Amino acid sequence: MNNHDKTDPNIGISRRDALKLSGLALGGLAGGSLFDLVARAAHAADTCESDCTCAEGPSCRWDSEARAQNYTYFNRLPPFSPFSRETSTTIPRLGKDEIRITFMGSAVPPRTLAQRMMSIFVEVGWDEATQMPRDQFVFDCGSGVCANYGAMNVGYGRMTKIFLTHLHGDHMSDLVHIYCFGPSGDRKSPQFVWGPGPSGLRNPDYDPADETRGPEFYDDGTRAFCAHLREACRWHSESFSFQTTSYKLYEPPTQADWGLPHEPVPVGTDSPRDAYALIPIELDLTLPAEQRVAYDNPTTGVRITYFPVIHDRRGSIGYKLEWNGLSLIFTGDTKPETNSLEQARNGGDGIDVFIHEMAVPAEIWAMKSLRLNDPDQVPDAAVQQSQMVQNSSHSPQGAFGYILNQIHPRPRLTVATHFPTADDTVACAMRSLREHGPCYMGNNANHTADAARVTWSFDRMVITVSKDRILEQRGMVKEFGFQATYQPPPGTYNRPDGFDTPKYHYEGQTGGSAGDPYAQIDTTTAICPCGPDGECNFREDGY
């Protein structure tokens, strides 16, 4: 008897049978976890509870270390160089009618070195005068992604607009790095952050007679998150404010300029012109669908709307970006639900790129997390825990295949992300997708007319979209490089007087170069390059 067929003495049913009963066999949609068999009342609100049965899923191989430690498809993609010699900014030229999507992070925790957590960078069009994209956006910024942004030549000044799908650490934790170090780089303007409003969920521990149990409703929306982040980073922002943090030609955008749902107001007391101003744009999911507009810029032509998805806690959102007849959807994290499906159908017009999360089956998630290579070796408790997380939060590969097969017309490209991408996991997932309909991978693959083109994201994968084609490429980076090319703000190139005076500056002096790096430190114990007798202690030039 293998581990799949073991009977839990506390339940009296095998794990395999339990999975069948709850509709969780590979290729099924979603259902209750194994715990449902003993505590079904605790999941009374689960609309997926049923006794449906599904056929066994495909057999998958997990016995090859080489397949587990490589993603061959990505390695064979044509190269993309993020530093160009053809433009004055070194930003690779983008066609005036093209969108470029770069995956700076693509993993689900607890993935290690191969992939960072979630983040997508989107550029649209090209401005010949500035030698830059017409508009650009960050969608999520999970842990570790800043290394990929720098390697892919995206500096802080190009990351001013950050759209968060939800406030989990693997989707927002590198905001700390971006916010803190941006003003020391080329972001000399405020940091804008879009995200969900308060969840409105009641605190189950609330007791009006005991204030230590917390408030009845937590202020858990994006504005509160930004307000606390601003103060948490106070030491950093003050310590670096001997450097200039604003420039003279900057004009703060108004609500009308960017088509925002409300006026852009910084948290705290920072000037709306300063790079340490943190400006939340909170998105209200209670609005009618036609009013859910996050960004609608009449100058660049980009329109970004949002919609609710189902992930862990109320308030998780997905985004749709539309520009110049092209469109993409980024769902963020979500269990199978109908809003993403309807957004992808787009009223019958379809979309160009559909980016949706995908999870491996619960037992494989547990197996990989435990560094095993045989599902039979995975303890039942580990599978149960993974299954519980999946049921509340994620779309397994079979559900992904079902959803994709319901979208007509097909997206021109569907991207599975938030996935532990490797040869073995992708091969298994592709088998699940093909149980629901024909699909293929590749820039030039042969396929049937109704087949869906799919790909699995990987860090530094670049997808360029035009009306004529969609090209997948592989970012070629220098692992020992330093940072993106500095992009001087307008009116500051070789002009220190184009910057405003730093907060900490020499008394009686003003001007872009008058910052005082000694204003906040005590130098009485400092060791100087030269001693009082003129003897050289160490070279002042650093050598």
Residue 488 lies in a domain: no
At residue 56, the 3 state secondary structure works out as: coil
- Check: CB of residue 354 under 8 Å from CB of residue 339: no
- pLDDT (average), residues 75-80: 97
Residue 483 lies in a domain: no
- pLDDT of res. 31: 33
Residue 482 lies in a domain: no
Name the phi and psi angles at 67, rounded to 5.
Answer: -70, -30
- pLDDT (average), residues 443-459: 87
Mean per-residue pLDDT over the chain, rounded? 90
- pLDDT of res. 28: 29
Q: How far is CA 359 from CA 5, 70, 365, 394, 460, in A?
A: 24, 18, 8, 6, 20
Instruction: Name the residue with tokens 């007849």.
Output: 325
- pLDDT of res. 22: 35
Confidence of residue 361 (pLDDT cuts 50, 70, 90): very high
Count Cβ atoms below 10 Å from residue 530 Cβ, excluding itself.
12
Cβ partners under 8 Å of residue 404, min gap 6 = 354, 410, 414, 433, 436, 437, 439, 452, 454
Residue-range definition of the domain harbouring residue 317: 65-207+223-359+394-475
Task: Summarize pLDDT for 175-223 with one digit per residue, the tens.
Answer: 999 999 999 999 999 999 999 999 999 999 999 999 999 999 999 999 9
Q: What is the DSSP letter of 31?
A: -
Each as own residue / partner, the long-range contacts of residues 256-261 (CB below 8 Å, 24 or more positions apart, any chain) are 257/297, 257/299, 258/295, 258/296, 258/297, 259/293, 259/295, 259/296, 259/297, 259/298, 259/303, 260/294, 260/295, 261/293, 261/294
- Check: CB of residue 398 under 8 Å from CB of residue 29: yes
- pLDDT of res. 39: 39
Confidence of residue 329 (pLDDT cuts 50, 70, 90): very high
Please give the helix or strand (H or E) that residue 357 lies within, else none.
Answer: strand 353-357
- pLDDT of res. 40: 40
- pLDDT (average), residues 19-26: 35
Residue 441 lies in a domain: yes
CATH classification of the domain holding 468: 3.60.15.10
Residue 54 lies in a domain: no
Cβ partners under 8 Å of residue 34, min gap 6 = 11, 15, 18, 19, 22, 380, 383, 384, 387
| Of the candidates 488, 483, 484, the residue with the CA atom closest to the CA atom of residue 186 | 488
Whole-number percent of the chain with pLDDT over 90: 82
- Check: CB of residue 108 under 8 Å from CB of residue 334: no
For the ranges 38-52, 284-298, 508-522, the one whose mean pLDDT is highest: 284-298
Question: Three-state secondary structure along 201-241?
Answer: CECCCCCCCCHHHCCCECCCCHHHHHHHHHHHCHHHHHHCC
For the chain, how big is the Rg over CA atoms in Å? 26
Count Cβ atoms below 10 Å from residue 161 Cβ, excluding itself.
21
Residue 335 lies in a domain: yes
Confidence of residue 512 (pLDDT cuts 50, 70, 90): low
Residue 240 lies in a domain: yes
Residue 542 lies in a domain: no
- Nearest 10 degrees: Cα torsion 230, 234, 236, 237: 80
Q: Report the number of distinct structural domains present in the chain.
A: 1
